[in-house]
Amino acid sequence: MIEQVKLIEFRENTNSQGKLVAIEGSKDIPFDIKRVFYIYGASRYAVRGCHANKQSEFVLINVCGSSKVKVKSNQFERVYIMDKPYIGLYLPKMIWKEMYDFSPDSLLLVLASEYYDKSEYINDFEDYIRNDA
């Protein structure tokens, strides 16, 4: 699954009035969008996420400011710097994720393939490794 993590560049339309990025579910991202949430006002020292999801896929977009996203498995770890509002990070299901190093103006938008379901969260990394083996 971790090899499916990828950056997605969205089309940015620019004119004299500013810039616009439009994102359509199942067209620009690989799933229908069922849930949208965002993280803002997070301290630079905050670490969000720290879990994997059994069913949900995500696209993360820092629409303002910047943050870092670490994805990892038992054999792999990579950090993505999210600082462009036209770049999304696609995370398939069963990917461990940690979001951190938020700039003061960071607004991290998250598009999700599933409705919220607490039972699909794996919050312990060792449990994640056992489930992902």
pLDDT at position 133:
59
Active site members: 51
Domain count across the chain: 1
CATH number of the domain bearing residue 68: 2.60.120.10
pTM: 0.94
83, pLDDT greater than 70: yes
27, pLDDT greater than 70: yes
- What is the spatial distance between Cα 133 and Cα 129, in angstroms, rounded to a whole number? 6
Give the residue numbers spanning the domain of 93.
2-132
118, pLDDT greater than 70: yes
SS3 118: helix
Evaluate whether 57 touches 30 at the Cβ level (below 8 Å): yes
Return the closest-CA partner of residue 62 out of 18, 109, 25, 16.
109
Instruction: Name residues whose C-beta falls within 8 Å of residue 58's C-beta, 6 or more positions apart in sequence.
Output: 90, 91, 97, 110, 111, 112, 113
**Where does the pLDDT of residue 128 fall: very low under 50, low under 70, confident under 90, or very high at 90 and above?**
very high
